[in-house]
Structure 1
């Protein structure tokens, strides 16, 4: 019987010792090698799915339910002003292994700001997230993907953009979003979506199921780059982790 293939890279790596042990069993004995074994780390088809603009209780919690059912961890870039009243949603993200990042306090373009205004958007949000979660290892995604020297200098953390953007905010058309993402997906991609739209939640879960069937493993941003042996550096901008 074939080994069930995990959807997430974390599950794959945790499953690896069992797969290796099974592979070592003599043929014909209980625990003999499964038909499918996990590929080496550098041969996995890895992809990160990310969500901006949340949390929104109605849609984000439904997305978290779907991710939990699939054993998938995602990365969420949050709006600071939306954390109040949703602290439990934020804690759930963290508890369930999702990565969390900053998407400014109220979705302001960061380019051209002075240091005081930049800090009011980024450091204020960082403090809010730290106050809820107790740690301070957050990534930054600038609204609209816009960066300049000021953003890079003051970020204080890696800056994460994307390589696949279905522009789900435009028409909130789940079937179109699914077709586009699945057709474009490559090993090392970072998918941009928004967990504030019901259609995007529908699309994201369908994308996960379809790409899983194609052999992709899902991971957080940190997991994606760690698997590629790339150190994320503060102030540097990253779009993908192509091998």
Structure 2
């Protein structure tokens, strides 16, 4: 695996000054690589969270590049991918990270992950300058992320989507596979409306009580349902009840999204109480947990959005909230609050 020498950058000569700049950039890149055979240990800084993220990006890229059946999507979690940071089975160039796969049931030999998806995952010195991770600048802007569990619901989810669109608010919907398979058109609406879908299991068991094998089956079957409905694999997992352990969490190679504001909408089933609780407990950087399967919960959303905006909050995606790539085998509760499994 030789790091690309980026010869093309040095041969494009629009002007003498431009050519000189590009040659300098190419030489610097070559010097950084030092013509070495790179390893995962080098490009990730010996970071297992980054390696797990690359494994999942490999699965997602295969799902994007190939039209897979439901069974093939379920197999992705069993796809033989490197678990050692010294593995030498990838190629890195100026455009992509190419994974060279071992023999597998999908008969796929390579997966080319664009470098644009790897900012903050591959160390900056191995990335083009325009794709290097930059620490966010300090801001006084207060931010919050909305998340909704247990859908999709054929009536309430579309109603909620209209509210979010009207107020220009993004959200992440953690859906259960048994409902996605019934209402795939609603899941498509979620994506088409500019929101994200996360995996919330097939039928909402507590993972830590059913064991690793059954938990993996819950995740993989829901992956297949969401893929069939939307053409994409969910990037995040939220375990039912927030119950997770290291063994189960490591098996799906994705960030685990928890929360730090539980609306208790499922307990109150009362719109004014839900509104009051969320407004009382939300703070800068919060991940708010709600549900799009209760009429009282959906009815509470317009007021929650209105008041929080009036208080100076901006509603953002999970990535924007965290201000960095979300990595596998971490639990994310809110901004600056992420923990090992």
Q: Does 1:211 align with 2:322?
A: no
CA distance in 2, matches of 1:242, 1:210: 24
Cα 1:82–1:41 shift into 2, 3 Å: farther
CA distances 1:103-133 after superposition (whole Å, capped 9, x unpaired): 1000011114444312220011011111222
Which structure has the bigger radius of gyration? 2
Match of 2:217 in 1: 120
Cα drift, residue 171 of structure 1: 2.3
- Indicate if the aligned counterparts of 2:256 and 2:329 stay in contact, CA closer than 8 A: yes
Match of 2:141 in 1: 44
- Indicate if the aligned counterparts of 1:178 and 1:203 stay in contact, CA closer than 8 A: yes
Which runs of 4 or more aligned residues in structure 1 lie more than 3 Å from their structure 2 counterparts after TM superposition? 112-115
CA distance in 2, matches of 1:85, 1:72: 26
1:188 is aligned, of 285, 298, 319, to: 285
Residues 113-192 of structure 1 correspond to what in structure 2 (within 5 A)?
Answer: 113-192=210-289
- Indicate if the aligned counterparts of 1:126 and 1:138 stay in contact, CA closer than 8 A: no
Match of 1:74 in 2: 171
Cα 1:114–1:180 shift into 2, 3 Å: closer
Cα drift, residue 41 of structure 1: 6.6
Q: Does 1:201 align with 2:298?
A: yes
- Indicate if the aligned counterparts of 1:55 and 1:196 stay in contact, CA closer than 8 A: yes
Q: Secondary structure of 2:205's partner?
A: coil
> TM-score when scaled to structure 1?
0.78
Match of 2:152 in 1: 55
Unaligned stretches of 5+ in structure 1?
A: 1-39
Match of 1:31 in 2: none
CA distance in 2, matches of 1:123, 1:221: 22
CA distances 1:48-71 after superposition (whole Å, capped 9, x unpaired): 010000001111111111111111
CA distances 1:194-220 after superposition (whole Å, capped 9, x unpaired): 100000001122101110111111112
- Indicate if the aligned counterparts of 1:151 and 1:235 stay in contact, CA closer than 8 A: no
Match of 1:65 in 2: 162
CA distance in 1, matches of 2:180, 2:279: 31
Match of 2:196 in 1: 99
CA distance in 2, matches of 1:76, 1:147: 19
Match of 2:3 in 1: none
Unaligned stretches of 5+ in structure 2?
A: 1-136
Match of 1:238 in 2: 332
- Indicate if the aligned counterparts of 2:268 and 2:274 stay in contact, CA closer than 8 A: no
Q: Secondary structure of 1:183's partner?
A: helix
Identify the range of structure 1 (92-101 vs 40-49) with the bigger mean alpha-carbon deviation: 40-49
CA distance in 2, matches of 1:69, 1:153: 38
- Indicate if the aligned counterparts of 1:110 and 1:118 stay in contact, CA closer than 8 A: yes
CA distances 1:21-51 after superposition (whole Å, capped 9, x unpaired): xxxxxxxxxxxxxxxxxxx773321100100
CA distances 1:211-231 after superposition (whole Å, capped 9, x unpaired): 011111111212222xx2x22
CA distance in 2, matches of 1:73, 1:193: 14
RMSD between superposed Cα atoms in Å? 1.6
